[in-house]
Amino acid sequence: MITGSIVALVTPMHPDGRVDWESLDQLVEFHIKQGTDAIVAVGTTGESATLDTQEHCDVIERVVKLTAGRRPVIAGTGSNSTGEAIELTQEAKRVGADACLLVSPYYNRPPQRGIVRHHEAIAAAADIPQILYNVPGRTASDIALETVVALADVEQIVGIKDATGDLQRGKELIERVGDRMAIYSGEDANAYELILLGGKGNISVTANVAPAVMHQLCMLALDGKADEAKALNDELMPLHRALFLEANPVPVKWALRRMGKIGSGLRLPLVELDERYQPKLELAMANLELL
């Protein structure tokens, strides 16, 4: 089982939008050295929405090769097209990913029975561990608790990333399906609390810029050290908040550029972090000695 701090890795890009493969290589090594426990390639933070299919597959394959078994790699292979999700998931298995992260179908807003059939079809077509990803704030497609319960019986489905930020929902997930699948937080600000309730880790944006501290936070929570985890999370809270001053991954890519880890590349319709937010993010980073 994959546990701990799982970075939702950015996809570095050149100013003209081309993937910056050299910076990607360096980021992977940075995370391994800093203690990140696993890497998500081409999730939401990796700008999956604007990478074409070949780029999407190439980034996953590159991260798998670079980690070389030193860390688990979770490939983002979700889509609102079941056929496309199957193809991406099959390709992730082919190149050696350890698991796949599958976002709930977005925009077309399927009913719950459609979500069940979507994931059942992917599981039947690709024999690789699969993690559901519920982020209704982006998808307008909320995976209901009863739907998760139904999907927990599917052998290939081993976990769910809950990015609702609702700890009560997380608690219910742990109580209902925690014996059959891993529950991961997708909300940095209260991830440690979900882990203390029985969650297995945090799929994190903050880990991009503070990987060692996020690893430490998750380990404290997994060890049941609630007071220490809270104290460390309180220190991180200004950074958690600053990384969402605009839509992810706009702030986190600005922060990584400020750290000298990547260049300025984003793909439209995303644009550089608004100047009015830059001092707030820089201050949060400076207070954690990240600059």
From the list 93, 133, 184, 253, the catalytic residue is: 133
The CA distance from 204 to 240, in Å, is: 10
Domains and CATH numbers, the chain: 4-225 (3.20.20.70)
Residue 253: active-site member:
no
**33 counts as catalytic:** no
Q: What pLDDT sits at residue 76?
A: 98
- Please tell me whether 45 is known to bind a ligand: yes
- Residue 171 is predicted with a pLDDT of 96
- Tell me what pLDDT residue 173 has: 97
* Amino acid 118: pLDDT: 97
- CB contact at 8 A, 234 and 190: no
Known binder of ligand: residue 195?
A: no
Residues 176-233: tens digit of each pLDDT: 999 999 999 999 999 999 999 999 999 999 999 999 999 999 999 999 999 999 999 9
Mean pLDDT for the stretch of residues 22-29: 97
Structural contact between residues 10 and 3, judged by C-beta atoms closer than 8 angstroms: no
Q: 0.75 exceeded by the pTM?
A: yes
Query: Each residue of 88-139: pLDDT tens digit?
Result: 999 999 999 999 999 999 999 999 999 999 999 999 999 999 999 999 989 9
44 band by pLDDT with thresholds 50, 70 and 90: very high
What confidence tens digit (pLDDT) does each residue in 254-290 have? 999 999 999 999 999 999 999 999 999 999 999 999 9
Q: Which of 33, 106, 107, 161 does the annotation list as catalytic?
A: 161
pLDDT digits (tens, 9 = 90+) for 50-96: 999 999 999 999 999 999 999 999 999 999 999 999 999 999 999 99
pLDDT of 16 reads: 93
Q: In the prediction, which pLDDT does 20 show?
A: 97
Q: What is the 3-state secondary structure (H, E, C) of the chain?
A: CCCEEEEECCCCECCCCCECHHHHHHHHHHHHHHCCCEEEECCCCCCCCCCCHHHHHHHHHHHHHHHCCCCCEEEECCCCCHHHHHHHHHHHHHHCCCEEEEECCCCCCCCHHHHHHHHHHHHHHCCCCEEEEECHHHHCCCCCHHHHHHHCCCCCEEEEEECCCCHHHHHHHHHHHCCCCEEEECCHHHHHHHHHHCCCEEEECHHHCCHHHHHHHHHHHHCCCHHHHHHHHHHHHHHHHHCCCCCCCHHHHHHHHHCCCCCCCCCCCCCCCCCCCHHHHHHHHHHCCCC
